[in-house]
Structure 1
């Protein structure tokens, strides 16, 4: 059978530097899924962009050919005139980009952006395009297609935007879909549903898929063939069963070793001690009013509902759940950045001998002292550092604000913090754009440490990182905790990461804690259907253990569809009950 896409000896470079993609070759058969695997900077995305000829202007295609077989004819995409290439882009070959918020126009409604594909490539009228787009929206799992059609990108969650990008790529029914890290920053349950969606669409339409990813668990659930890339070259390739079952190259083995996995067998562990709490949150509620539009009454959103969390000194408490579950709202309330509803209580004790201070009722002096003691590491290392500030200025700014030390002292402290996070003080003069994602996350951690805090709130600090870089950041956080005695409030949607770093885990869904226990207990004996769904949705690099989409859908579904013991309607959730020492589950007794 003739390959649908045949990439041969592809090399790409910039200027006079050595090639960043060198001698890459692979082929994709009709209806087949091929996974391009590797860390950031390995050349995966450049290789895929060359197929559509949407490389940066400064990129040079130095050698190779890309042949595409369509309707019995084989065309070299690199030699086609631009007019013919435009007829292929989005029509016969579509691409789902990694960051949907950057790929969608913020000024146009979702429906208009997806309809544009049909108007350009099918010359469809507005009514016909609208009908087909709404059908595609329903196909990709939108509960209310018309609402999404009329919505702007900022009105949708990350998972919904990614589904909209899939709809845009699929609406013209392409022969080849290139999916560039389509699930990297998604919740595990949303990721499982998106992967299942791509497989269903592939089954229905017979299209081929190139899946770009660094997650071997995703590869095991999706691909028939695997190509492993590093530093622009192919390290290993072959059938998924051979590459995942017995990787031969050292780089592939390294990726396997770095992949976080939920422990399969564990013994229940003891709950955390409660005698020396650095942070104590009691009966925390947070309600928002969201504008409904027109003359309609505002919509009431309950972000946190009777949340109770206790963090002992020197320990790590993880809060796990999907986007919109209330995790980050909890973190912001803990830091005093968000005002909770009346009756909520948040107490902070910097040192064991200090009196507990109410975080939301501090005077100016207490607030300044608290802000030195509690710092935050944000999710996105790219937007948490100002692109206009050199690293030295970014690291010394917190000390300047709090009036700590002389200019020389502050610079020395910044250099010391860089050494702590495994970077060189020589980097102080650089700007953030000169660093990789993993290095920027290290810089964010260094900035948070410059004030010698006692509490560090980590909001998804590894979600957008490669598995090997993720492993380095987790190891770094563990080492810093040992050296400084720090306490961590760790926000995540990834139970595999949490199992590595946490002393206790609270699972949140729609503002409510549904289960709480030490990680060994939680993974040894999960009780709540939502916790089971999170565990089932975690992709693992094992072909014999595919994601159980039925179990994911059951736990991630509406509370009224859960088993009788856990079922409830509206906001009338049952109480949190201690089923075993240190193990609490929200259920009917």
Structure 2
């Protein structure tokens, strides 16, 4: 079979430095999925961007050849020498790309529908009404429940996962010959990820489309790829058919990637009774309701029940993980646990800073009490780059919390910053650097160091490893575990990655549409799940095992509407079954 896209001896560099892509070669056939696998900085994204000629201005194409097979009997196209005008016709028409960060790729000034339909306006000679019809159909296929609302929305009105789905729709609506997918599911929940991967495979089979998948997730590779190219520091370490690479990797780097891939472990449950528990934070009947104005004066207000009747506690020195998809209410729950959001009347959020101490209700704190609580409770955010001030050096970013709370002298603050850097595995000579000088994993370590500056006893970790490579993710998880054990910290850990949760959590609460649908220790929850949504989350978790593909039937049933669930769990509207004790420390929202 003739290859659709061929890359030969590609070398890319910047300035007079060593090549960042060095003698890379690969090819992809029609209907085939090629996975480029490697950590950040391995050169996989630059290799793909070179096929579209959208490299950074400072990048130098030092050598190599990229060939696109001709269509309808036409000769092959040398993408390195073709004119820019013809290249514009190829982009979107024959080769499309899904970018990793949709917020940077979508125009904030234009509606989503207009941006997606622009592909059809540029490359397809069809009417405006037909363009809108095709875009809405594609929106429905990528999982939007209300395609018309999304069509008229701006990017900032959508969640991160919804923006990524819009990018996928934009890349696919023109039915390209080659789809380059650069970490297309990094920002998605596992259930949405499974459905999107299934969608890509369906469209690939339907249109005979070739897919070049850029990823660091070997579970995604196992479910999608026909062939694999493993890259490290700009070079190809290993290449071949996916079954051979995943089942019997030969190169040491590939084996290290396989070993670092998180998996849900098989362990024996260790039970503990409720009476033995010492809670640092308890949430009792906690709800949060938002009322949104109508789009116009005559439209009614919309009531959103973001969180409904949450009851759980974070045990001192332990980790409670809250898992669920975007919109499940887990982040709102975390914000209320920190006092950043005020819960509805009747909610009770109790915090005990010391074992056996008097509990304070975060709902009733005055300004002084809230300031004292904030010294005990801090947050580690998902994206450290956006939370670290780019104009502040590390020294200033770390000492700022102590300055705000009036803690210590300048010398004591600097000593504390130096100590925290050592705690997170960084050097004190990094104090004078700016955040942009660090890798993603290093920035996350800085974010953890900043959260520890005031000596807190309670940390909320909001998706702290979701954007990291598997090896860096492993390092950050190990760091969080070590710090928790050394300082006896308590974590409320927000995530959608069940393998990460199984690694770090002592107890797990699964949320869907503002409700906790199942709760228990990870050993029980992941190996004896009762609720259909929990089963869907587990089934959707990609594993680096080519013989254990994602079961989309289980995923679609559990991720569907509650009215379609089995009778014991089914509900419609706001009247849901109670959270029922089904075993030791195991609760399920169901009718007995």
Category of TM-score, reference length = shorter chain: over 0.9
Report if aligned partners of 1:289, 1:300 keep a CA contact under 8 Å in 2. Answer: yes
Report if aligned partners of 1:272, 1:312 keep a CA contact under 8 Å in 2. Answer: no
Structure 1 residue 135, shift from structure 2 partner: 2.8
Report if aligned partners of 1:274, 1:312 keep a CA contact under 8 Å in 2. Answer: no
Structure 1 residue 318, shift from structure 2 partner: 0.7
**Aligned residue runs from structure 1 range 312-391, under 5 A:** 312-391=315-394
Structure 1 residue 404, shift from structure 2 partner: 1.1
Matched, 1:263 2:265: yes
Task: Give me the whole-angstrom Cα distance separating, in 2, the residues matched to 1:186 and 1:138.
Answer: 17
Residue aligning to 1:306: 309
Report if aligned partners of 1:220, 1:543 keep a CA contact under 8 Å in 2. Answer: yes
Report if aligned partners of 1:271, 1:518 keep a CA contact under 8 Å in 2. Answer: no
Quick check: 17-26 or 289-298, which moved more? 289-298
Residue aligning to 1:184: 186
1:492 maps to which of 472, 480, 495: 495
Instruction: Structure 2 unaligned segments of length 5 or more: list them.
Output: none
Report if aligned partners of 1:271, 1:517 keep a CA contact under 8 Å in 2. Answer: no
> TM-score, length-normalised on structure 2?
0.98
Structure 1 residue 268, shift from structure 2 partner: 5.4
Residue aligning to 2:63: 63
Report if aligned partners of 1:272, 1:504 keep a CA contact under 8 Å in 2. Answer: no
Residue aligning to 2:234: 232
SS of the equivalent of 1:422 reads coil
Residue aligning to 1:149: 151
Task: Give me the whole-angstrom Cα distance separating, in 2, the residues matched to 1:447 and 1:152.
Answer: 33
SS of the equivalent of 2:516 reads strand
Deviations 1:36-79 (A, max 9, x none): 00011111111111000000000000000001102132111011
Task: Give me the whole-angstrom Cα distance separating, in 1, the residues matched to 2:48 and 2:274.
Answer: 48
Task: Give me the whole-angstrom Cα distance separating, in 2, the residues matched to 1:401 and 1:115.
Answer: 48
Structure 1 residue 296, shift from structure 2 partner: 1.2
Residue aligning to 1:26: 26
Structure 1 residue 91, shift from structure 2 partner: 0.7
Residue aligning to 1:406: 409
Structure 1 residue 139, shift from structure 2 partner: 3.2
Report if aligned partners of 1:396, 1:411 keep a CA contact under 8 Å in 2. Answer: yes
Task: Give me the whole-angstrom Cα distance separating, in 2, the residues matched to 1:275 and 1:205.
Answer: 57
**Aligned residue runs from structure 1 range 7-156, under 5 A:** 7-71=7-71, 72=73, 73-156=75-158
Structure 1 residue 83, shift from structure 2 partner: 1.0
Task: Give me the whole-angstrom Cα distance separating, in 1, the residues matched to 2:313 and 2:130.
Answer: 56
Count of aligned pairs: 589
Task: Give me the whole-angstrom Cα distance separating, in 2, the residues matched to 1:85 and 1:271.
Answer: 66
Residue aligning to 1:562: 565
Report if aligned partners of 2:271, 2:584 keep a CA contact under 8 Å in 1. Answer: no
Structure 1 residue 266, shift from structure 2 partner: 3.5
Quick check: 348-357 or 56-65, which moved more? 348-357
Residue aligning to 1:505: 508
Residue aligning to 1:200: 202
Structure 1 residue 525, shift from structure 2 partner: 0.7
Matched, 1:583 2:586: yes
Report if aligned partners of 2:20, 2:233 keep a CA contact under 8 Å in 1. Answer: yes
Structure 1 residue 123, shift from structure 2 partner: 4.0
What is the root-mean-square deviation in Å for CA atoms of aligned residues?
1.2
SS of the equivalent of 1:147 reads helix
Task: Give me the whole-angstrom Cα distance separating, in 2, the residues matched to 1:82 and 1:523.
Answer: 53
1:477 maps to which of 476, 480, 487: 480
1:548 maps to which of 529, 547, 551: 551
Structure 1 residue 265, shift from structure 2 partner: 5.1
Deviations 1:192-225 (A, max 9, x none): 0110110011011111000000000000000000
Structure 1 residue 81, shift from structure 2 partner: 1.1
1:249 maps to which of 242, 248, 251: 251
Report if aligned partners of 1:274, 1:310 keep a CA contact under 8 Å in 2. Answer: no
Structure 1 residue 362, shift from structure 2 partner: 1.5
Structure 1 residue 482, shift from structure 2 partner: 1.3
Structure 1 residue 165, shift from structure 2 partner: 1.2
Report if aligned partners of 2:266, 2:523 keep a CA contact under 8 Å in 1. Answer: no
Task: Give me the whole-angstrom Cα distance separating, in 2, the residues matched to 1:273 and 1:28.
Answer: 59
Task: Give me the whole-angstrom Cα distance separating, in 2, the residues matched to 1:5 and 1:179.
Answer: 15
2:290 maps to which of 275, 288, 291: 288
SS of the equivalent of 2:557 reads helix
Deviations 1:114-143 (A, max 9, x none): 111111122433223223222322333333
Residue aligning to 2:280: 278
SS of the equivalent of 1:367 reads helix
2:535 maps to which of 532, 535, 543: 532
> TM-score, length-normalised on structure 1?
0.98
Report if aligned partners of 1:271, 1:504 keep a CA contact under 8 Å in 2. Answer: no
Structure 1 residue 274, shift from structure 2 partner: 4.9
